[in-house]
């Protein structure tokens, strides 16, 4: 394959930003790029290279694309296709400063944050700062990303520290100091694991009953065992893409306890036999990415890691949290989910057996090792063991991350967060974020366990509780949720690509013409069935949940339903 390149050339800044990542060019210029197998094997550097361009120019320019194509031996059309997939890449954009104020549902009650004059403004879905919103993500060429919020980095912890297991270091131990981490029990779990051996660790995990915290609740022991038994050159991944509206717990952990993430991933690698690991961090979390990079470097220098860990920054795509889309993203392709089977432990990233867990899941594994699987299993309920992080946001007095044992109810969490703000009455709670379910006051008494929420047709999802008071107009909230899904659909499969758009349109018609409600409700039901049944991935399969529950609860469409 000969590449035909664009005729535009990169600026000096673009060239040096890409060279800083890829090394200086060996050979090759003009309109035909040369490069054999070795160069093409670097396809996975495409996303970091696009970040380098965006950081240098504030946009993805034609000259920049030509340069990446040449350096990585990737056809320019492919580079363009990948760049145009991600929200944070301003393809052919004006350059300069971009500001992205959050206009999503947990911040709605607080308005949209002001943006700087003369900047390019792109309103954004939830930025994962709902505990201290309204938030703005700013990008400035040469200076990268910064987040402006109403509060401090990390998470203010509103609970007595003695109650905390997962969050015990947050705000108490310097997240930039390896020594501070070691002094607070850091790397003891990894040492213990090495002493007992991988099989024994899996036995502890199985005894613990720990299930994944990223939404699918898959048993962790079984997953790790599957990867351990797989043959081949394995990879382990920490999923820090956290983009579900109303969810920010993984950010708090990554920002304020980054060494714990690194230790847990190293442990995952030790048990499964993987020698390579990735931490995939949401592009909107610059502080988390920087602290994790520093933690990986510090732990590596101290000889604490047998696992080669790379921190990868996402670039604005909720779908890249879906595991197969995340693999595609790391490989340098568009973040499009793949049909399963094959499952990750058979053929994951680069076609290699892959283990992937959520950030919270991984740091919870450290707690299993610390106290032992059997003791861990005594925490929580029989079907849902251990501690769990919940993100409480919206109209409450003290939004934040709360750590409770499984079995706590929504009301317990609401009480921890100081109750509905300003002493108002409750309107509704959205359990699980945009891919979740609305519940009313009675739902607050359901223990938030996997088994009880399933029975009550609620969901835990990744642990978001977004609280709305009784003055809330739910129509814009529900429309924003519908728009979230049509904005974030990867566009691959028809039920989701077109279905999510039709869902939003149907709601708009229903809200502007209440007489059409019965008709639209039927249409929404027909759509939902097809999206649930025929979408490739969980995005399309959950895109109608919140909308339907809002209608069922009478939050919208009630008068004429």
Partner 1 sequence: MADLTLTIDGGTVTVPEGSTILDAVRSVGGDLPTLCHGPTLEPANVCRVCMVEVEGAGALVPSCSRVVDEGMVVHTDTDRARHSRTVVMELLASSADLERVDDRFSAWMEDHGADPARFTGATIEGRPAKVHDDLYVRDYARCILCYRCVDACGEQHQNTFAITVAGRGFDAHISTEFDVALPDSACVYCGNCIAVCPTGALEGKIAWDMKEAGTWDIDRQEVTRTVCSYCGVGCNLDIHTQEGAIVDVTSPEDHDVTLGNLCIKGRFGWSFVVSVDE
Ligand X SMILES: Cc1cc2nc3c(=O)[nH]c(=O)nc-3n(C[C@H](O)[C@H](O)[C@H](O)COP(=O)(O)O)c2cc1C
Which residues lie near ligand FES (CB under 6 A)? 102, 104-107, 126-130, 133, 135, 245
For residue 348, state whether it binds ligand X (rule: CB under 6 A): no
Task: Choose which of 42, 62, 192, 398 interacts with partner 1 (CB under 8 A).
Answer: 62
Complete DSSP assignment for 9-34? ---HHHHHHHHHHH-S--S--TTS--
Give the residue ranges of DSSP H helices in 358-473. 359-371, 373-378, 410-416, 450-455
Output the CA torsion sign for 446, 451, 456, 461. Answer: positive
Q: Candidates 67-75, 374-382, 531-539, 551-559: pick the segment binding ligand SF4 (CB under 6 A).
A: 531-539
Tell me whether residue 301 or residue 533 sits nearer to partner 1 (CB atom).
533
Among residues 189, 193, 292, 281, which one has the least CA distance to residue 300? 292
Task: Choose which of 139, 213, 234, 388 interacts with ligand X (CB under 6 A).
Answer: 213
- Let me know the angle formed at the C-alpha of 335 by 330 and 337, rounded to the nearest 5 degrees: 110
Q: In the beta sheet, which residues pair with residue 401?
A: 391
Tell me whether residue 171 or residue 245 sits nearer to ligand FES (CB atom).
245
What binding mask, one character per residue, do residues 485-504 give for ligand SF4 by CB under 6 A, x or -? Answer: ----xxxxx--xx-------
List the structure tokens of 160. Answer: 């007595």
Task: Choose which of 26, 41, 77, 455 interacts with partner 1 (CB under 8 A).
Answer: 77
Cis peptide before 226 (omega within 30 of 0): no
For residue 104, state whether it binds ligand X (rule: CB under 6 A): no
Q: Candidates 113-121, 227-235, 294-302, 537-545: pick the segment binding ligand X (CB under 6 A).
A: 537-545
Least Å distance, CB 154 to ligand FES, is 15
For residue 540, state whether it binds ligand SF4 (rule: CB under 6 A): yes
Strands 464-469, 387-394: pairing is parallel
For residue 352, state whether it binds ligand SF4 (rule: CB under 6 A): no
Give the containing element (helix H, strand E) for 330. helix 323-331
Strand, coil or helix: what is 443? helix
Residue pair 386/432 in contact by the 8 Å Cβ criterion: no
Within 8 A by CB and 6+ apart from 444, the residues are: 409, 410, 411, 414, 426, 429
Task: Choose which of 78, 104, 323, 403 interacts with ligand X (CB under 6 A).
Answer: 323
Least Å distance, CB 112 to partner 1, is 22
For residue 10, state whether it binds partner 1 (rule: CB under 8 A): no
Q: Tell me which residues in 505-534 interact with partner 1 (CB under 8 A).
A: 505, 523, 526-527, 529-530, 532-534
Task: Choose which of 354, 361, 517, 549 interacts with ligand X (CB under 6 A).
Answer: 361
For residue 537, state whether it binds ligand X (rule: CB under 6 A): yes
Q: Give CA–CA dist 466/110, Å, rounded.
A: 13
Tell me whether residue 98 or residue 492 sits nearer to ligand SF4 (CB atom).
492
Give the containing element (helix H, strand E) for 63. helix 62-72
Within 8 A by CB and 6+ apart from 127, the residues are: 100, 102, 104, 133, 135, 136, 137, 147, 284
For residue 545, state whether it binds ligand X (rule: CB under 6 A): no
Q: Candidates 94-102, 192-200, 357-365, 466-474: pick the segment binding ligand X (CB under 6 A).
A: 357-365
Residue pair 530/502 in contact by the 8 Å Cβ criterion: no
For residue 314, state whether it binds ligand X (rule: CB under 6 A): no
127 binds, among partner 1, ligand X, ligand FES, none (CB under 5 to 8 A by kind): ligand FES
Tell me whether residue 77 or residue 375 sits nearer to partner 1 (CB atom).
77
User: 153 — phi, psi (to 5°)?
Assistant: -55, 155
157 binds, among ligand SF4, ligand X, ligand FES, none (CB under 5 to 8 A by kind): none
Q: Give CA–CA dist 175/294, Å, rounded.
A: 10
Site residues for partner 1 per CB under 8 A:
1, 3-4, 6, 62, 65, 75-81, 84-85, 91-92, 317, 334, 339, 486-495, 497-502, 505, 523, 526-527, 529-530, 532-536, 541
């Amino acid at each position: 394959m000969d590449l035909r390149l664009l005729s535009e050339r990169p600026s000096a800044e673009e060239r040096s930003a890409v060279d800083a990542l890829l090394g200086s060019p060996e050979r090759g210029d003009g309109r035909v790029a040369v490069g054999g197998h070795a160069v093409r094997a670097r396809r996975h550097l495409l996303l970091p290279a696009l970040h380098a361009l965006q950081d240098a120019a504030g946009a993805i320019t034609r000259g920049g694309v030509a340069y990446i194509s040449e350096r990585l031996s990737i056809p320019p059309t492919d580079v363009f296709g990948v760049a145009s997939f991600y929200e944070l890449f301003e393809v052919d954009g004006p350059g300069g400063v971009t500001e992205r104020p959050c206009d999503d549902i947990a911040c709605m009650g607080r308005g949209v944050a002001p943006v700087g004059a003369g900047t390019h403004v792109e309103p954004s879905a939830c930025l994962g700062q709902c505990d201290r919103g309204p938030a703005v993500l700013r990008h400035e060429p040469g200076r990268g990303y910064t987040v402006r919020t109403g509060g401090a980095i990390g998470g203010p912890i509103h609970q007595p520290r003695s109650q905390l297991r997962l969050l015990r270091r947050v705000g108490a131990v310097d997240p930039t100091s390896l020594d501070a981490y070691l002094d607070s029990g850091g790397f003891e779990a990894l040492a213990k694991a090495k002493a007992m051996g991988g099989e024994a660790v899996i036995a502890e995990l199985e005894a613990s009953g720990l299930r994944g915290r990223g939404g699918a609740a898959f048993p962790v022991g079984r997953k790790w065992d599957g990867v351990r038994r797989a043959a081949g050159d394995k990879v382990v991944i920490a999923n820090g893409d956290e983009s579900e509206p109303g969810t920010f717990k993984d950010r708090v952990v990554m920002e304020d306890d980054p060494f714990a993430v690194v230790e847990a991933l190293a442990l995952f690698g030790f048990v499964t036999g993987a020698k390579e690991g990735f931490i995939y961090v949401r592009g909107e979390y610059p502080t988390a990415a920087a602290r994790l990079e520093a933690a990986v470097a510090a732990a590596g220098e101290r000889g604490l890691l047998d696992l080669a860990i790379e921190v990868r920054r996402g670039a604005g795509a909720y779908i890249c949290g879906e595991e197969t889309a995340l693999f595609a993203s790391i490989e340098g392709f568009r973040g499009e989910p793949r049909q399963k089977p094959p499952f990750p432990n058979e053929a994951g990233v680069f076609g290699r057996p892959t283990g992937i867990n959520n950030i919270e899941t991984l740091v919870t594994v450290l707690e299993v090792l610390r106290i032992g699987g059997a003791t861990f299993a005594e925490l929580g309920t029989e079907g849902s063991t251990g501690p769990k992080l919940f993100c409480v946001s919206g109209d409450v007095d003290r939004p934040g991350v709360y750590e409770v044992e499984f079995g706590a109810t929504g009301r317990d969490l609401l009480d921890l967060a100081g109750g509905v703000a300003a002493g108002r009455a409750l309107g509704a709670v959205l359990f699980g974020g945009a891919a979740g379910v609305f519940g009313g006051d009675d739902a607050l008494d359901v223990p938030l366990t996997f088994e009880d929420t399933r029975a009550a047709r609620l969901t835990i999802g990744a642990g978001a509780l977004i609280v709305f008071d009784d003055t809330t107009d739910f129509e814009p909230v529900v429309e924003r949720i519908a728009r979230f899904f049509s904005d974030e659909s990867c566009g691959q499969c028809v039920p989701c690509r077109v279905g999510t758009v039709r869902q939003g349109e149907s709601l708009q018609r229903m809200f502007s013409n209440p007489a059409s409600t019965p008709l639209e409700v039927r249409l929404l039901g027909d759509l939902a069935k097809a999206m649930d049944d025929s979408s490739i991935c969980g995005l399309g399969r959950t895109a109608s949940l919140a909308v339907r529950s809002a209608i069922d609860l009478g939050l919208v469409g009630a008068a004429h339903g």
